[in-house]
Amino acid sequence: MSTRIWQEFFLCKDEDELLTITKENNTCKKRTGQQDYGLCYTYICSAYRKYPLCKFQLKAKQSSDGTYKL
């Protein structure tokens, strides 16, 4: 059984920049959760219904200073 490998690859300064990246990668918001460190957004491939084996996901974590880590 394979495990997920999360790679931190980008730091966004605001929500507009985050939305631009999600649109470029053809993703849609799946889940929003409140964690100890702030909000956490999970984005999945927007064609997941047509291609259920698509495993592409983005996870954005909001820091206390308003930046987002992808």
The model's pLDDT over 4-53, given as tens digits with 9 standing for 90+, comes to 666 667 788 888 888 888 888 888 888 888 877 778 888 888 887 787 77
Output Rg (C-alpha) for the chain, integer angstroms: 13
pLDDT for 5 equals 66
Sign of the alpha-carbon torsion through 51, 19, 12, 64:
negative
The neighbouring-strand residues paired with 41 are 32, 60
The rounded distance, in Å, linking the Cα atoms of 61 and 31 is 12
Whether 70 has a pLDDT exceeding 70, the answer reads yes
